Structure 1
């Protein structure tokens, strides 16, 4: 399915047939649909004309918030591999900042400017993962063996160049996908929709472009924990009541964020002076010392568990119990992993990573394969859109035949391109379009002047790809063949389509699975006799992960912007700026942390680095520990079955009870102390939303404050460690 390149050359506003003349045959559903689309056009136009889609102050505040998130994500990423764009707290912090200064502002802080703030902040904040600093780079620096051309350390300027090379092409490639997945297919992107809802509530907006009727819930509000089912429309008469309930008072949310930030920060500072707080032997000293069963009562990890939800954290807990409670003692006692339990090379800690790796690969291949093939299998290649669309290509051509009414501005040819009507103007009747076809028409899009034009996309695509290939050549020289880098970039573009679709449908961007697929593919095209095969494999996987992450992040933000009437071109340039600054800052933060702390070490165990290097060694045929391949194969078969069951039962109530492969694998390769803290957060989420049946917004704000508090105060701990301040 070839995505539309999304510019003013394609009609964005579709005419809708007038209601039947006979009142007895009026279809109320279609009347409501027509009214909704008309209101959506007006909403988009009114906010697109606010004139504050792209501002210097919005960029600067976004970069300031992004800096905080960047430090936080580097800290947690080096510990467990988990990062978050923190879109909702970014919009809340941006709103609080401008609200405080409202008396001194020449222009008010608008929702579309808030969209810019959270776009810049999120793009900057995710660069520790996007540029490989929480996985690939530690693997290159500390885990490559001499026979694998390692360890390989880069100078600071090469580190920055590497990061800049990875941070652009995924952003540019996301632009052509926007019209297909957001405008035509209307994929949900639950987190992007939830962020739009929060921004709308903060600014007192009662409607959004995609649905002028407010929504009753936020992400994962439904009892079956499925994000795709989390939004339900309500009647217009209830809009005011629901908005009052959601709003409650933005000051209360800011206060909650501040208090949780302070408490988490104070606890983090205490852990520096009392390191025992990071690993409490809650199950006794024997299990703690011999089998690593401790609890890290980090409030930040509790916050992560709240955001992840009870289903995901329970699956992680299952992985920890199976991996560290069953497989680890079994491997140790049978002599399959004779070394100390916490030894990555000869201990059971490293042995069970192979099992988790097999589970991740099985889940990734099945899940991403389904996303890629479902539209083709469902429609035999004749249809465009997702598995539920019923409009053929030929039908689309007919439906896009517009006949403007007299005395109205229609489509005019200017320089060989069609110009669309402004959103406020009614279009004429659609030729031959039935009521069912009307329902399947795309959403109204932004005015053409607010879209990213084709020339920018194509020039940006070429330049970003050439820049990526060139920087990798400069950084690694002949160690990585030119053909391998070029292949990696184009494979990243293909895999990013799968990542975007997965994110839009499930709210999860499977970047870890995408990178593993890339590693598996490169094992097939790079001869095992090549002494650089492991290094090449790591670089190829990093490129794929970067492209998928950035494309998914921008698409999530574009969904938020579409719902609030923000200009896509402003978000695009905001993402470019945020990514560029984030790449440089991430390189500096990585060098700062690794120069002060031992990596891998007690604080930064870098488990994802070991997952990367073990995957590269596995697919390049370097062999597994004794009995590891038998258990890995068996686990892969089990999770091929469970993943297929999850796909079949995607909208069933029992879906959350089937373990997800990625979550189980994360619970296996992370030590139990982190998983137990996340499980506590998941229980808090369940208690608040399912048992108490309360609104989700307060606990999301609470969780965000807990995460940001530890991430920011970790900078203070870094300074204390660099000054050799003694522990107590």
Structure 2
């Protein structure tokens, strides 16, 4: 899952599942493993391309609404399996099948699709790139100068992504043997994906996959039809089911309502319970308590004449308190990850020194021996990786400052590319231990450093946001590739096929992500906090850049004190969670401590999507109580179908919007007094 990061972890396997996984390679021992070239087939590339388009639309819509993105690995693996299984079965019936469908081919598809949709997140079309636009700049007012604004266009966005997105892939390749074979890092998401793909290609797993695909398409159809039905009632602003005042008009004014979004009900079914509760706690704390109190100080804490979007008014508190919470959470995890990494390295070294003689005589299991053999079979030389990193970095250093972002100087880029491999290693290592990717945290730190370095008059806002993109793409793609190496290791997929499918998926994402974003950008008022696609991270990332160039002088009255409090509070909450995990084992109280990062998201948007997600959690909770086995097997498929159906309705809806086709009905809710006035006006 990605809520700026990836805080979710796969469910722990029980003993039966672990023993079955341990003996997995004996099940496949009679099957020939295809060469790396035969793992990357034309049919796999075509399937990956189709699914990449679908997943780019899904991720883009989620990015532009709330920024809460669940893990789509299960859906990618499942849909890839379903599409190619159906195609190969048809060819087999016709006597035309030349190469059977293998788990290695399935892994290539999943890797390619996830790499492409990963670029949809790290591309920053809904965060740092959108933060450069005049729409977001006009909302925050401060720093709205020509050299701190850049007009968005798909051409330069695609070019920018191509020169910065591939560098990270080469930065981590030389460390694959150490991290996968020697350190044996877990990479929970990569491991879970591998077990899923392995199970699909056993008779029992194929039967369950068929059932999951059927359920997915049923929930997809329901979600799509429901979104289509809602469209008829949304002819204008604040019309339709999405503006239903579920808890009354006063609560609706404070953004507390259920908006009937099957997307976020589905997201809530995938996300852990505490993530959803954290979002709701953050919404209650901000829109239910803090903002009404601060608004009551209008005229004292800030001028009553300011516009609703001014950073020196209520909007400043919303933006900077969210930013402070995110920075506190991010700083804690960066430091904690560094401590964890160093501690693990020291323990592993000590353990290795103490038991080196035992290790020499230790028998290697059949599975491990077979996996090691195929993982070492097709190597990518370190010189190739080093040469690729240097060459791509030089190209980026030349093109980005001279042709795309003049505000970001060549020496800024040189420093970024010197630091990036170290951060890429830290992120990939930490991700292997905890399943957390801290890419966006490194990106936020880059904003603060490089925006302050450049300065406001020299376009520091654009420089900081562009540097964020450089850092995020390198660090994110590096950890994603190592996850894929782990998946490939457990499915006997060649490292070369994993690398090239990651490259292919990245290339697809670099093209598709800006084009899909542009599709929404032309059809809707993207970035409008009161519109259908508020894209909250655009304003939040620009707020971080403003903090970097102006310092604390840009904050309204008492905002600095509150921001420091929330910054420290985020660190303390995380520290308490870690302490309880280490010390309190009986009741596992750490499960009930909310996540600061999740709490910060509703500060800007409100509670409506948190309510949707909590309803998703409630549905899953009831389902698990009634039939835990069924819920575990089918809930991810149901949730994925709901997300896919509602998100893909955005395509025809956007086309109709661009063509000027409007819904025929406006369903709007008024108070009794306002309704009386309207009736009186119409009567006259």
Q: TM-score band (shorter)?
A: 0.7 to 0.9
Tell me how far apart the structure 2 counterparts of residues 529 and 474 of structure 1 sit (CA, whole Å). Answer: 19
Q: Against the structure 1 CA distance between its residues 271 and 42, is the aligned structure 2 distance closer, same or farther, given a 3 Å change threshold?
A: closer
SS at 1:610 equivalent = helix
Q: Per-residue deviation at 1:591? A: 2.0
Indicate yes or no: 2:309 matched with 1:311. no
1:86 aligns with one of 65, 68, 72:
72
Tell me how far apart the structure 2 counterparts of residues 646 and 581 of structure 1 sit (CA, whole Å). Answer: 39
Which residue of the partner structure matches residue 71 of structure 1? 57
- Contact map agreement 2:323 2:540 (CA 8 A) in 1: yes
Tell me how far apart the structure 1 counterparts of residues 643 and 283 of structure 2 sit (CA, whole Å). Answer: 22
Which residue of the partner structure matches residue 231 of structure 1? none
Tell me how far apart the structure 1 counterparts of residues 640 and 33 of structure 2 sit (CA, whole Å). Answer: 30
Q: Against the structure 1 CA distance between its residues 680 and 176, is the aligned structure 2 distance closer, same or farther, given a 3 Å change threshold?
A: farther
Q: Which deviations, in whole Å up to 9, do the C-alpha atoms of 1:688-710 show, x marking residues without a partner?
A: 44675335231111111111112
Q: Which deviations, in whole Å up to 9, do the C-alpha atoms of 1:563-598 show, x marking residues without a partner?
A: 111111101101111111211121222222212211
Q: Against the structure 1 CA distance between its residues 124 and 154, is the aligned structure 2 distance closer, same or farther, given a 3 Å change threshold?
A: same
Tell me how far apart the structure 2 counterparts of residues 44 and 127 of structure 1 sit (CA, whole Å). Answer: 36
Which residue of the partner structure matches residue 11 of structure 2? none
Which residue of the partner structure matches residue 422 of structure 1? none
Indicate yes or no: 2:611 matched with 1:648. no
Which residue of the partner structure matches residue 464 of structure 2? 537
Q: Which deviations, in whole Å up to 9, do the C-alpha atoms of 1:501-533 show, x marking residues without a partner?
A: 333233332333221222233356x05465322
Q: Per-residue deviation at 1:552? A: 2.3
Which residue of the partner structure matches residue 683 of structure 1? 618
2:486 aligns with one of 559, 569, 585:
559
- Contact map agreement 1:161 1:475 (CA 8 A) in 2: no
After TM superposition, the structure 1 = structure 2 runs for residues 484-563 of structure 1, keeping only pairs within 5 Å, are: 484-522=412-450, 526=453, 528=455, 530-563=457-490
Tell me how far apart the structure 1 counterparts of residues 565 and 130 of structure 2 sit (CA, whole Å). Answer: 30
Which residue of the partner structure matches residue 186 of structure 2? 188
Question: Unaligned regions of 5+ residues in structure 2, if any?
Answer: 1-17, 92-96, 138-142, 235-239, 666-684
Q: Which moved more, 1:550-559 or 1:698-707?
A: 550-559
Q: Per-residue deviation at 1:318? A: 1.0
- Contact map agreement 2:162 2:510 (CA 8 A) in 1: yes
- Contact map agreement 2:132 2:150 (CA 8 A) in 1: yes
Indicate yes or no: 2:683 matched with 1:724. no
- Contact map agreement 1:492 1:545 (CA 8 A) in 2: no
After TM superposition, the structure 1 = structure 2 runs for residues 441-460 of structure 1, keeping only pairs within 5 Å, are: 444=372, 446-460=374-388
Tell me how far apart the structure 2 counterparts of residues 55 and 550 of structure 1 sit (CA, whole Å). Answer: 23
After TM superposition, the structure 1 = structure 2 runs for residues 60-139 of structure 1, keeping only pairs within 5 Å, are: 60-83=46-69, 86-101=72-87, 102-104=89-91, 105-139=97-131
Tell me how far apart the structure 2 counterparts of residues 503 and 670 of structure 1 sit (CA, whole Å). Answer: 29
Q: Against the structure 1 CA distance between its residues 182 and 342, is the aligned structure 2 distance closer, same or farther, given a 3 Å change threshold?
A: farther
Q: Which deviations, in whole Å up to 9, do the C-alpha atoms of 1:250-306 show, x marking residues without a partner?
A: 2211111101111111222233332322222111112213x2222222111111111
Q: Per-residue deviation at 1:368? A: 1.1
Question: Unaligned regions of 5+ residues in structure 1, if any?
Answer: 1-32, 206-243, 379-384, 400-429
Which residue of the partner structure matches residue 274 of structure 1? 233
Q: TM-score, normalised by structure 1?
A: 0.78
Which residue of the partner structure matches residue 412 of structure 1? none
Which residue of the partner structure matches residue 340 of structure 2? 374
Q: Against the structure 1 CA distance between its residues 583 and 190, is the aligned structure 2 distance closer, same or farther, given a 3 Å change threshold?
A: same
Which residue of the partner structure matches residue 594 of structure 2? 659
- Which structure: greater helix fraction? 2
Q: Against the structure 1 CA distance between its residues 54 and 663, is the aligned structure 2 distance closer, same or farther, given a 3 Å change threshold?
A: same
Tell me how far apart the structure 1 counterparts of residues 598 and 429 of structure 2 sit (CA, whole Å). Answer: 19
After TM superposition, the structure 1 = structure 2 runs for residues 250-269 of structure 1, keeping only pairs within 5 Å, are: 250-269=209-228
Tell me how far apart the structure 2 counterparts of residues 673 and 713 of structure 1 sit (CA, whole Å). Answer: 20
- Contact map agreement 2:129 2:465 (CA 8 A) in 1: no
- Contact map agreement 1:558 1:571 (CA 8 A) in 2: yes
Tell me how far apart the structure 1 counterparts of residues 323 and 579 of structure 2 sit (CA, whole Å). Answer: 24
Tell me how far apart the structure 2 counterparts of residues 461 and 543 of structure 1 sit (CA, whole Å). Answer: 13
Q: Which deviations, in whole Å up to 9, do the C-alpha atoms of 1:468-518 show, x marking residues without a partner?
A: 323312443532111112222333333223322333233332333221222
Q: Per-residue deviation at 1:79? A: 1.3
SS at 2:525 equivalent = coil
CA RMSD of aligned residues (A): 3.1
Task: Give the number of equivalent residue pairs.
Answer: 615
- Contact map agreement 1:148 1:531 (CA 8 A) in 2: no
- Contact map agreement 2:66 2:534 (CA 8 A) in 1: yes
Q: Against the structure 1 CA distance between its residues 147 and 343, is the aligned structure 2 distance closer, same or farther, given a 3 Å change threshold?
A: closer
SS at 1:478 equivalent = coil
SS at 2:101 equivalent = coil
Which residue of the partner structure matches residue 324 of structure 1? 287
Which residue of the partner structure matches residue 13 of structure 2? none
Which residue of the partner structure matches residue 30 of structure 1? none
Q: Per-residue deviation at 1:193? A: 2.1
Indicate yes or no: 2:545 matched with 1:616. yes
- Contact map agreement 2:341 2:429 (CA 8 A) in 1: no
Tell me how far apart the structure 2 counterparts of residues 79 and 36 of structure 1 sit (CA, whole Å). Answer: 39
SS at 1:649 equivalent = helix
Which residue of the partner structure matches residue 536 of structure 2? 607
Q: Per-residue deviation at 1:44? A: 8.8
SS at 1:254 equivalent = helix
Q: Which deviations, in whole Å up to 9, do the C-alpha atoms of 1:408-449 show, x marking residues without a partner?
A: xxxxxxxxxxxxxxxxxxxxxx788476999xx998363433
- Contact map agreement 1:499 1:548 (CA 8 A) in 2: yes
Tell me how far apart the structure 2 counterparts of residues 47 and 663 of structure 1 sit (CA, whole Å). Answer: 46
Q: Against the structure 1 CA distance between its residues 637 and 43, is the aligned structure 2 distance closer, same or farther, given a 3 Å change threshold?
A: same
